[in-house]
């Protein structure tokens, strides 16, 4: 029985291109290539597994989304929230969300299989990185997708992202407004794309407020509570005149580690040390004190991604959409004015 590989070989195109034509995705494949694929289908006698109706105008009304990976003893509250709001948004638009997992070392195989079998109309990508192979694969295949997050600047694809640069910049401005001058940041490893945007916001905020960028003030580590503890421990090796009076953590989980370590050292959060997180995870408002944090607009991001997907799937010539959505600083009790004895002259 002929396969999609036979069609691709006969037409002289990729398997992904054949899948795209068979699923009647408009605007990404030239009419000439489309006709060559359909002619090859006739010559080899191939019938798609999803039935011949896919050759005309049917849609599955399914959007594929790869469930994110979370390390043991950790979670990702942002992506947990995102998938909930994304499911709501696509359902309201008349689609359904098809979630799946993939091997860590071979993510493309599942994407390719879902494309070839015609089981999804498009994908939503999340948890992106600077050289995301999933994004490159889908760009090359010409298959519809939108990502929550950016990747290489020279890759042309549609994405929606939180403006982490702006969020951290506002956090710095808020701490400076309280009187802080020694502000540190606990960041992710330098290879993190979202992390780099947030660190850039920190550096811009410090410079714009006339504060020195002390290399010892920025520490990099993994996304866990232990790193927050380790970061504060390292800052406490500095002299009292150099220690930060305020810390911005790149995530709420790391901020919790900082707060836990500070309290074990006898510090009062909000008086002896101010702490700001990022994400506004559901439980941080119930900490004592409640954590001031940068809240990502997850419902709005999910809605925007769904709207862009609708435009892509309906348009004969879809346009590129790239959207930064500003976060919001949620002020609680973990920040206060620095003690007079700690303010540098």
27 backbone φψ class: left, alpha, beta (φ>0; ψ -120 to 50): left
| pLDDT given at position 14 | 82
Q: In what order do the strands lie in the sheet with 328-330?
A: 218-220, 183-187, 246-249, 274-279, 292-295, 328-330
| pLDDT given at position 104 | 74
| pLDDT given at position 57 | 44
> 4-162+299-326: what fold?
Rossmann fold (3.40.50)
| pLDDT given at position 50 | 45
Task: Give 109's DSSP letter.
Answer: H
| Interval 95-114: pLDDT, tens | 999 999 887 778 899 999 99
Q: In what order do the strands lie in the sheet with 145-148?
A: 96-100, 62-66, 122-126, 145-148, 159-162, 322-325
Q: Which of these, 326, 322, 323, 325, lies nearest to 155 by C-alpha position? A: 322
- With a CB cutoff of 8 Å and minimum separation 6, the contacts of 210 are none
Share of the chain above pLDDT 90, in %: 66
In whole angstroms, what is the distance from residue 289 CA to residue 294 CA? 16
Distances (CA, A) of 310 to 52, 91, 211, 301: 24, 12, 46, 14
Q: For residues 142 and 123, is the Cβ–Cβ distance under 8 A?
A: no
Domains 4-162+299-326 and 164-296+329-342 share a fold: yes
| pLDDT given at position 247 | 98
Q: For residues 166 and 292, is the Cβ–Cβ distance under 8 A?
A: no
In whole angstroms, what is the distance from residue 84 CA to residue 66 CA? 13
Query: Residues 132, 137, 143, CA angle at the centre, nearest 5°?
Result: 120
Share of the chain above pLDDT 70, in %: 91
| pLDDT given at position 191 | 81
Taking only the tens of pLDDT, the chain with its 345 residues reads 788 888 889 999 888 788 778 766 655 677 788 889 889 988 988 876 543 334 344 578 999 999 866 555 556 789 999 999 999 999 999 999 999 988 777 889 999 999 888 899 999 999 898 889 999 999 988 899 999 999 999 999 999 999 999 999 999 999 999 999 999 999 999 888 999 999 999 999 999 999 999 999 999 999 999 999 999 999 999 999 999 999 999 999 999 999 999 999 999 999 999 999 999 998 898 899 999 999 999 999 999 999 999 999 987 667 889 999 999 999 999 999 999 877 654
Task: Give 344's DSSP letter.
Answer: -
3-state secondary structure (DSSP) of residue 315 = coil
Q: Would you state the torsion angle of the CA atoms of residues 85, 88, 89, 94, taken in this order, to the nearest 10 degrees? A: 160
DSSP code string of 61-94: -EEEEEPPP--TT---HHHHHHHHHHHHHHHHTT
164-296+329-342 maps to CATH 1.20.950.20 = no
In whole angstroms, what is the distance from residue 259 CA to residue 245 CA? 13
| pLDDT given at position 86 | 97
Q: Which residues on neighbouring strands pair with residue 274, listed in sequence order?
A: 246
Mean pLDDT of the chain: 89
3-state secondary structure (DSSP) of residue 265 = coil
| pLDDT given at position 5 | 85
**Which tokens go with 206?**
């410090």
| Interval 47-85: pLDDT, tens | 765 433 343 445 789 999 998 665 555 567 899 999 999
**Which tokens go with 4?**
């999609």
**Which tokens go with 222?**
């993994």
**Which tokens go with 254?**
């790391």
| pLDDT given at position 74 | 58
- Give domain limits for the chain: 4-162+299-326, 164-296+329-342
Residue 333 φ/ψ, nearest 5 degrees: -95, 5
| pLDDT given at position 22 | 77
3-state secondary structure (DSSP) of residue 182 = coil
């Amino acid at each position: 029985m002929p396969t999609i590989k036979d069609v691709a070989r006969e037409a002289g195109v990729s398997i992904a291109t054949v899948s795209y034509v068979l699923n009647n995705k408009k605007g990404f494949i030239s009419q000439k290539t489309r006709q060559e694929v359909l002619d090859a289908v006739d010559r080899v006698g191939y019938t798609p597994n999803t039935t011949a109706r896919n050759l005309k105008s049917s849609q599955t009304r399914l959007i594929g989304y790869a469930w994110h990976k979370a390390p043991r003893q950790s979670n990702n509250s942002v992506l947990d929230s995102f998938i909930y709001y994304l499911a709501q948004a696509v359902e309201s638009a008349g689609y359904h969300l098809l979630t799946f997992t993939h091997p860590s070392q071979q993510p493309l195989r599942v994407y390719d299989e879902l494309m070839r079998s015609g089981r999804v109309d498009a994908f939503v990508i999340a948890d992106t990185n600077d050289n995301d192979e999933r994004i490159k694969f889908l760009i090359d295949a010409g298959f519809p997708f939108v990502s929550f997050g950016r990747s290489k600047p020279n890759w042309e694809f549609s994405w929606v992202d939180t403006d982490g640069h702006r969020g951290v910049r506002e956090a710095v401005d808020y701490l400076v407004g309280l009187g802080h001058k020694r502000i540190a940041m606990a960041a992710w490893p330098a290879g993190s794309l979202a992390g780099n945007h947030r660190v850039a916001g920190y550096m811009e905020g410090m410079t714009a407020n006339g504060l020195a960028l002390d290399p010892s003030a920025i520490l990099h580590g993994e996304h866990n509570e232990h790193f927050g503890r380790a970061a504060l421990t390292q800052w406490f090796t500095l002299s009292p005149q150099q220690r930060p009076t305020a810390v911005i953590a790149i995530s709420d989980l790391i901020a919790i580690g900082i707060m836990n370590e500070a309290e074990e050292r006898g510090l009062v959060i909000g008086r002896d040390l101010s702490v700001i997180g990022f994400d506004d995870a559901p439980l941080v408002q119930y900490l004592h004190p409640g954590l001031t944090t940068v809240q990502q607009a997850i419902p709005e991001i999910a809605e925007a991604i769904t709207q862009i997907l609708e435009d892509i799937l309906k348009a004969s010539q879809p346009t590129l959409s790239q959207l930064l959505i500003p976060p919001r600083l949620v002020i609680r009790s973990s920040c206060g004015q620095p003690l007079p004895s700690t303010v540098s002259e």
